[in-house]
Chains A and B, each alone.
Chain A
Amino acid sequence: MAVRKPPITTREYWAPGHAACAGCACATALKLATKAFSEAMEEKYGDPNAFAIAQATGCMEVVSAVFPYTAWKAPWIHVAFENAAAVASGVEAAWKKLGRKGKVLAIGGDGGTADIGIQALSGMLERWHNVVYLMYDNEAYMNTGIQRSSSTPYGAWTTTSPPGKYSIGEDKPKKWVALIAAAHQIPYVATASIGNPFDFVKKMKTAAKVDGPAFVQVHCTCPTGWKSPLEKGIEIARLAIETGIWPLFEIENGNFFNIRIQPPGGGAKVKREGDRIVAIEFKKPIEEYLQLQGRFKHLFKQPEAIDQLREQIKAMWKVLGVDVTLPKPGE
């Protein structure tokens, strides 16, 4: 009888027994990321275990390494909130000197990456360390109880961007860290989503196999912070892609003219010029994504805020070189 090869290794590095909330899609992302890394290391160095992880303070750190237990089956170090990239630089330098083959994976949340850790990240990328930086983007500081970060989307409720008489919630558009990373002209930058796990795994493998620094930003649902149904994590993340909220792309060597945009699915109509996507007509309104999450509930009483968000999304796609049309519900 033919036995089908599993689509991804059965080796586990982020083992069961961590303490993440039920339905945490960030935990799933880390599980897949380490599996992808392992496969890449096997293909590149013949050793599936040839990696170490340096991780920033945040949810994924505190739920996985509570002394005397650990969920990690790979060499793993946590130092502080803002310095995963710098710590990874040190580990990589030491490995180089020890003649150890392999790669360092740095992991940080959106806070540890886009805000407090962006300096260390920039330094690490610019110095060209052989490190993959994985930013898991749950769009707020979850570990300290759901405060806004610069990666929190416009209009979202958090405990420090509460909607009120004078507030619609978060009042700044999302910061695009992947583009900042790409500006360092590093070999590989990608956005990914837990809503498209195969694509995410593929990108992690690509990142792990390049020589030099790489940056991957994975959008992942946090049911606790997003006030969303536990079982809908993947569905919500996929809706972010299908409604245009979350673009998937790859940039090599900082070449913004050769940015590879991926078709979003969800019935969207894609227009190409040569290989390149130049326009997308989305079919699903962003409301489909927003309505599944309590953090956007208040926006439905202020539809003009949702329109504003639509404009911001269009502007963001424009930066990526794509003209998008975003429908309103019923359109």
Chain B
Amino acid sequence: MPIRTVMKANEAAAWAAKLARPKVIAAFPITPSTLIPEKISEFVADGELDAEFIKVESEHSAISACVGASAAGVRTFTATASQGLALMHEILFIAAGMRLPIVMAIGNRALSAPINIWNDWQDTISERDSGWLQFYAENNQEALDLILMAFKIAEDERVLLPAMVGFDAFILTHTVEPVEIPDQEAVDEFLGEYKPKHAYLDPAKPVTQGSLAFPAYYMEARYTLWEANENAKKVIDEVFAEFEKRFGRKYRKIEEYRTDDAEIIFVTMGSLAGTVKEYVDSLREKGIKAGAAKLTVYRPFPTEEVRELAKKAKVLALLEKNVTFSVGGALFQDFSRALINQEERPILVDFILGLGGRDVTFRELDQVLEISRKALAGEKFEEVNWIGLRKEIL
């Protein structure tokens, strides 16, 4: 029987890792993810998880050890955030390039400087080109479920890519919410044991991994990564469907909320989606045709779903906790690309908000609405809008 209980997203992540039965975990503490390696150490110490937990001396070594373990053919897990993820940067590309299905939990946290431990998505967004699959959880249940599904998607032979699952620092990592922990047997049936077909660092079948590729081969290697990312789209749908069948919880790459006759759709990711949905409810009560959409999957970018979504609205308000300099937010860039050649497309308005843990409440969302309505009315508007700036301290 699944257990219904309450826990923080960090605990949910540790539970997901435990249920997935990885053989090697290598991790280094960083706020807000510290509880994940702590909890996993407890599981290992109590014999509840039969894994090697490598207490590495840095995140760089954490991911390097995961690469070594994954290349030896075992299921591998790690967790980090912010500067820790940034320290892994070099190896993230290598893990993807070597097609190693490592799964990593991230407590999404702002990057220095100034040092800031609170939530935004700049850490994972900055790694969007690494080749890793990226999922964003709205709540603690999603953190657990997405990590489980990430293993299945990552390990699928059509994919074989590493995957990261992000959940917002403190808003989720340290907040207790109801979570259903699935049955171990059910998870075992869903995931199966990871048995890679290739010979991985096996003396009986020696292979060379991590070669040097001259220009005659490099591009093709990168292209296969591209292909694997494309393949992941279908695999994600399949795994989401199977998960729904087995566990009853429904996931979509883009989750839509009251979008059917919406004029303005607020698009976001992570925990902010919860606030936005409630906000949409409040607008609907006032007769304002608003909807919400949440990207659960950010890489591979759900281009087809974005195009479907775009058909439903006159304005897409993109709510982003990240900055791409000179451009606005990353979503703005991605949405623009997805829609640029479409015959009919909504107006895109970009909103940068909630950086470094700045609250996003209905008050901020009112400003988003106001600007979006201007755009809807054909009035002039800024393409990139910083919401909630304290202008008096600038």
Task: Please report A residues at the B interface, Cβ cutoff 8 Å.
Answer: 47, 49-52, 54, 61-62, 65-68, 70, 72-80, 82-83, 85-98, 100, 102, 119-120, 122-124, 126-127
In the assembly, what is the distance between CA of A222 and CA of B46, in Å? 52
* Chain A positions within 8 Å of B98 at CB level: 79
Show 12 A/B contacts (Cβ-Cβ < 8 Å), sorted by A: A50-B203, A65-B208, A75-B200, A82-B60, A87-B71, A90-B65, A93-B52, A94-B72, A97-B52, A98-B74, A120-B58, A126-B57
* Chain A positions within 8 Å of B66 at CB level: 90
Question: Which 8 pairs from chain A and chain B are nearest by CB?
Answer: A90-B68, A123-B57, A90-B65, A94-B72, A86-B64, A86-B61, A78-B210, A83-B64
Of B212-220, B351-359, B372-380, which binds chain A? B212-220
Would you call the interface of chain B mostly helix, strand, loop, or mixed?
mixed
Count A/B pairs, Cβ under 8 Å: 166
B214 to chain A, nearest CB (A): 7
A180 to chain B, nearest CB (A): 14
In the assembly, what is the distance between CA of A127 and CA of B281, in Å? 54
B200 to chain A, nearest CB (A): 8
Contact B90 A80 (CB under 8 A): yes
| Other-chain contact of A119, B58, B65, B94, B214 (Cβ < 8 Å) | B58
B51 within 8 A of A: yes
* Chain B positions within 8 Å of A95 at CB level: 72, 201
Contact B61 A77 (CB under 8 A): no
Contact B67 A87 (CB under 8 A): yes
Contact A77 B69 (CB under 8 A): no
In the assembly, what is the distance between CA of A100 and CA of B72, in Å? 10
| Other-chain contact of A89, B61, B206, B208, B217 (Cβ < 8 Å) | B61
In the assembly, what is the distance between CA of A95 and CA of B54, in Å? 13
Contact A66 B212 (CB under 8 A): yes
B5 within 8 A of A: no
In the assembly, what is the distance between CA of A93 and CA of B54, in Å? 8
Number of interface residues of B (CB under 8 A): 48
Measured CB to CB, the nearest residue on chain A to B95 is A79
Contact A119 B211 (CB under 8 A): no
Contact B212 A87 (CB under 8 A): no
In the assembly, what is the distance between CA of A66 and CA of B52, in Å? 32
Question: B residues 190-204 with Cβ under 8 Å of A?
Answer: 199-204
Measured CB to CB, the nearest residue on chain A to B218 is A67
In the assembly, what is the distance between CA of A50 and CA of B26, in Å? 24
Measured CB to CB, the nearest residue on chain A to B199 is A75
Task: Please report B residues at the A interface, Cβ cutoff 8 Å.
Answer: 23-24, 26, 50-52, 54-58, 60-62, 64-74, 76, 90-91, 94, 98, 199-214, 217, 221
In the assembly, what is the distance between CA of A82 and CA of B52, in Å? 23
Contact A47 B203 (CB under 8 A): yes
| Other-chain contact of B61, A66, A74, A97, A120 (Cβ < 8 Å) | A120
A54 to chain B, nearest CB (A): 6
* Chain A positions within 8 Å of B52 at CB level: 93-94, 96-97
Known: A49-B204, A86-B64, A88-B68. A97 touches B214 (CB 8 A): no
B21 to chain A, nearest CB (A): 11
Add 15 more A-B contacts to A49-B204, A51-B203 (CB < 8 A).
A52-B201, A65-B211, A70-B211, A79-B210, A82-B60, A86-B68, A87-B65, A87-B68, A89-B26, A89-B65, A90-B24, A98-B23, A98-B72, A119-B57, A123-B57
| Other-chain contact of A61, B58, B212, B213 (Cβ < 8 Å) | B212
Residue among A54, A78, A85, A86 with max Cβ neighbours from chain B (10 Å): A86
B117 to chain A, nearest CB (A): 24
| Other-chain contact of A79, B62, B91, B221 (Cβ < 8 Å) | B91
Known: A90-B69, A102-B203, A123-B58. A78 touches B64 (CB 8 A): no
* Chain A positions within 8 Å of B205 at CB level: 75
In the assembly, what is the distance between CA of A120 and CA of B58, in Å? 8
Contact A93 B69 (CB under 8 A): yes
In the assembly, what is the distance between CA of A70 and CA of B57, in Å? 32
Known: A49-B204, A52-B201, A66-B212. A90 touches B67 (CB 8 A): yes
| Other-chain contact of A86, B65, B201, B208 (Cβ < 8 Å) | B65
Contact A120 B57 (CB under 8 A): yes
In the assembly, what is the distance between CA of A100 and CA of B199, in Å? 14
